[in-house]
Structures are given as structure tokens and as C-alpha cells.
Structure 1
Amino acid sequence: MAIRFFLVLLVSTSICSLTFASDPSPLQDFCVAVDDAKASVFVNGKICKNPNMVSADDFYLSGLNKPGNTSNPLGSRVTPVNVNQIPGLNTLGISLVRIDYAPYGLNPPHTHPRATEILVVVEGTLYVGFVTSNPANPNQKNKLFTKTLHKGDVFVFPEGLVHFQFNTGKTNAVAFAGLSSQNPGVITIANAVFGSEPPISIDVLTKAFQVNKNVIKYLQGQFWINN
């Protein structure tokens, strides 16, 4: 049954990529990425491998059926499949992830600066949502859209908007998500704001969050993990 949902995801992602892809359209059949360590030139993407050296393995990855390790403070694990895992994704404007959630596990508020995301639940129950960008009217607030998803349900997170997923059940949950970029990027809000190196000025954060310095010092002192 999970395979059927996964196939639906791939079809949906293909449609999403054709419609909303933010990466440039390729001008050749493929441009298999060269390892960064072997590339001497920086481009918007990755350097192309010699087509005569390309093999089927450049378009292949195994092991996405294996659960991710959720034994961390968040109780979740994201397993990416982007151009860094499959070199053949270079210039194709598409990637995906597997997300595992322990009971009450959280994929915390974050954004993908270069991709729209479409997520399908294959096991468990997830509470998901995203927040709109700042409204034009200063008297209005950012709007929150949420939904409780069950097995087989699909939800879309628009490109660049802050979103999250939370396992509300007492059992493990699993979801797959397609993204409209070969390398969508991720900015975890708490990590970026309170865990940057060097840290953001306490004066900036106290004014931004309207709290005292002790709260900011406490938050900056936490161990922020990248999921």
C-alpha cells in the first residue's frame, strides 16, 4: 500500500515540477553533477559530468524504504534525495525527501527558499500547516493554514513559506515529499535565529521578539540541531 502512495507522490511531484519549478529548464537530456570536490568552477547548479562517463547509477539511489533515526530532541528525521544524493537530478528541477516521526515528533517550522513542497502521508497522523508572508495591511496578521492529515492525504506548502509537521499520534508516522528544485535548501527558523555562528546580537533579538535579554541568552544557549 505504501508503494502505491509513493507512486502517486512521484506523479504529483512531476506535475508540480513542470508547473512551479524554480530551477532553470535544462537545455540537454541531462547534466549529471560532478562531485563538488572535483569542480573548479562555481555555477548555479553543478558542473556537468562528461556524458560518455555517465551510467545508470548516476540516476539511482536505494534504501529509501529504511526508517530514519528519530532518537533526537525533535523526534523526527528527514532523509533527503536531492542532487547531492543523485547526481542525475542536476538541472532537472525536482527532488524528494522521506520524513520519519516518532510519536509526538516534530519537523519544526522551516522554509525551503527554492521550492514548493507537496507531502503525502503513508503512515500515521500529522498536524501540518504553513504561515503566509507579511500582509500588505499592517493591521492584519500573518495567516495560518493547518490540516490534520491521515494515511493517503496530501498537502502542499508554497515556496518560501514557513511550515511544519507534527505527529499527533501515539505511533510512528512516515511521509514522503516532492520538492520543485534539485536543491531546495532549508532554513530552520529557530536554528537560524538562535543558533547562528556568530550569534545574532542580543540587542537585535530582544527588540525583535520583545523579551528580555535573559530569555534570548537562554535560547541561544540551547543545542539547536539540523534535521
Structure 2
Amino acid sequence: MKVLVPVKRVVDYNVKVRVKPDQSGVDLANVKMSMNPFDEIAVEEAVRLKEAGTVEEIVVVSIGPEKAQDQIRQALAMGADRGLLITAEGEVESLAVAKLLKAVCEEEKPDVVLLGKQAIDDDRNQTGQMLAALMGWSQGTFASKVEKDGDKLHVTREVDGGLQTIALSLPAVVTTDLRLNEPRYASLPNIMKAKKKPLDKKAASEFGVDLTPRLETLKVTEPPKREAGIKVESVEELVDKLKNEAGVL
């Protein structure tokens, strides 16, 4: 079985995000960038499936600037086999990403596309679903467990009523949730080996996909600062303030 794992370059989740003075977007100057955490979980799951003998090849693809090759090499150090970088400057929206991934799928012919359910920068949570629709493939979203059984891929996912397990026919698109696994740390020897591995590079323009944004960002602002709390002497005083000052009772 062949697995394609798309990964995205995002601001590291430990970094405090700053807004540009003109409120046109997030300031990325001198900011640490990392692999999207949900995509890192997808890479880990693909590697685990390979270690179990279920997967034969793992191909990692990233769409973004030249520096996105750092995230691909991180995936290679974790255990992926090949990397593909599709260079594109500026923001590439979910639909354009899905169309580019569709073109990659038509070339690579993977059995499964395994990707994070959402990116922590835009939180859109729609690329996987769009790709499945464009390809006409079955899909399993928010996966907390993935198992191969015969010619079916069993995906356990969290729903309002508990857990739901669905049997997907291949090829399929699976999006990963946080509870699926805990990604490993790549060893130093593997990191050094990954730096020397050649990467395939293609420009987004080669695929004939329109990357023109369909959404316009009018303004980006920081959330209001939280006001300091106060101490009360009794439950009665607390109830009074919640009722008469906060207006929540």
C-alpha cells in the first residue's frame, strides 16, 4: 500500500503570534516555523503502518515556499521515503491545495492520502474533504485509530455519541485527529540522512491550477486582553456580581 502525506509549514505552536502594525496579517519575520502538528501525526501514523508491514512507500508533499523543504526533511527523518515540494508563494487556499493534491494523486496513484484534519494557522478543516470530493474517493475524517483489514481500511472516529468505526474502500482520504498517536522525535542520524536526500521540486504553475485567492482578508486584530479578576468574600457576593454586574444569571 502506498501512502501520500501532505504537510504544511506553519508558525510553531509554541510561538506567540504577533499581528502586523498595519493589521494586514500575521508577522512572520524571524518567527520559528514548524510542521503543522496534525500533519506530524499523519506522518507518524504512516510510519507506524509501514513498520507494521501494511505500507510499502510513504511520499510526503508540501505546498509553499522553498523553505517548506525543511518540513519535508523532518518527515523524511521520521521515516518517510520520498519528498515532493510544490513551490508557491503567498497564501494558497484550501480549494487550490486540494486541486494541486488531486494532480499529485493522479501522478503518484496512492492508496491512501493521510493528512491532518486542519492547520493551526487558518483552522479551516476542509482540504481533506475537498480532495475526497474531487477524487471521488471514500473519506474518514477525525481519525483516532486506523487499521488495515483485508481490502478495507477501518477508521475509528469521534462523533457526538461516542466512537464510530467505518470501513473505507481504497483508495481513500483519511484526516487525523490529536488522539491518533504521539509523534516520535527523529534521531540525529536520521536527521543527517534526511538532509542529504534529494527532493523532487515542481512549481505550482506546472499543474495549471488557479491559485488566485477567493477570500479577502480585511483586517487581522489581536483578541482583547483579559481583564484582571477579583476576589469575593462569600458565595452570596459572587452570585450578586454574576447576576447584577456580569449579567450571566
For normalisation by structure 2, the TM-score amounts to 0.25
The structure having more radius of gyration, on CA atoms, is 2
For normalisation by structure 1, the TM-score amounts to 0.27
Question: Which has the larger share of helix?
Answer: 2
